[in-house]
Amino acid sequence: MPTSVTNLALLGFCILQVMSLLVPQANARAFLVFGDSLVDNGNNDFLATTARADNYPYGIDFPTHRPTGRFSNGLNIPDLISEHLGQESPMPYLSPMLKKDKLLRGANFASAGIGILNDTGIQFLNIIRITKQLEYFEQYKVRVSGLVGEEEMNRLVNGALVLITLGGNDFVNNYYLVPFSARSRQFSLPDYVVFIISEYRKVLRKMYDLGARRVLVTGTGPMGCVPAELAQRSRNGECATELQRAASLFNPQLVQMITDLNNEVGSSAFIAANTQQMHMDFISDPQAYGFVTSKVACCGQGPYNGIGLCTPLSNLCPNRDLFAFWDPFHPSEKASRIIAQQILNGSPEYMHPMNLSTILTVDSMT
């Protein structure tokens, strides 16, 4: 008899232990990431696509010193936000390792090459377009419900921090991809911006309808200043005028759309991150931030190391911390740290209506 009691007690203890693993800790917060290569942390490694970062020297400064699918020499912005939250970075949604307690910490749905529009990045073939990322989000909710029940799932999703980064590819890999592209024949630039902002609004509203209540929305960076565009469009190292014009049209309209959407839903659900200004700070004055250059990529070839992809045969700088750009399109880990710091603590010029530190403080009191 005592043995059976002991066994029952042991079984009860084991069940409690398993349940404690499956119910998110009170101070933990799920982190959900959507978007393109600026925030992809490996989904495309599971897909038949050319938009991959699975070769050396990608990941050279990552803790494992191996490529992870991040378009960085090391950590990217979701990693750095997770670092601040004191949590592991959410895993790629397509990873077979994403299950049980890892699923409750969130997921990264991002996929390099995608845009707001489904015809953006068609040259990359098999990528997870934003409509599909939202389908995966719905699937994620079902999987979490299966672990902790629907009520707890809704609490987890409503309380999650969400990051979405879209827009740059709709210009670089669509409107300006080739001369006389289909979209540039269909729309003047101002009309195209109005169109993609209206499409982006639908995406954000769908996220809200699926339960997202704290969404960081980054604008595009200064697209005309990346090494890839300098190599193709710049004569003397000045930023490419047309792409800078596109960014200067898109970003203010994004902020206005977010303000309107917040008014519509009656809360500050959406937060606009002025990543254009965050980048321009160190692009305009790289030395002030410890960089030797903001024009030449660390890894690449051709003018400004801006031609083609970063491969094992590319030029590679010995000290990545001295370069604002890691490859022809993406910031180095050090530059990403500067951006992440502004997301956390930036003034209203950078974060509207509030920065992430304020969000975390406000949410901790509710």
Q: Which residues are catalytic?
A: 37, 327, 330
Residues in the chain: 366
Q: 336: left (phi > 0), else alpha (psi -120 to 50), else beta?
A: alpha
Closest C-alpha to 216, from 345, 27, 30, 33: 33
Q: 172: left (phi > 0), else alpha (psi -120 to 50), else beta?
A: alpha
Buried b (16+ CB within 10 A) or exposed e, 3-19: eeeeeeeeeeeeeeeee
Angle, helices 77-85/356-364, rounded to nearest 10 degrees? 40
Sign, Cα dihedral of 78, 363, 200, 34: positive
> What is the rounded distance in angstroms from the CA atom of residue 139 to the CA atom of residue 226?
36
The CB density around residue 316, as the number of other CB atoms within 10 Å, is: 18
Burial class (CB in 10 A: 0-12, 13-18, 19+), 345: middle
Q: 121: left (phi > 0), else alpha (psi -120 to 50), else beta?
A: left
What spatial distance separates the first Cα and last Cα of the chain, rounded to whole Å?
48
The CB density around residue 270, as the number of other CB atoms within 10 Å, is: 28
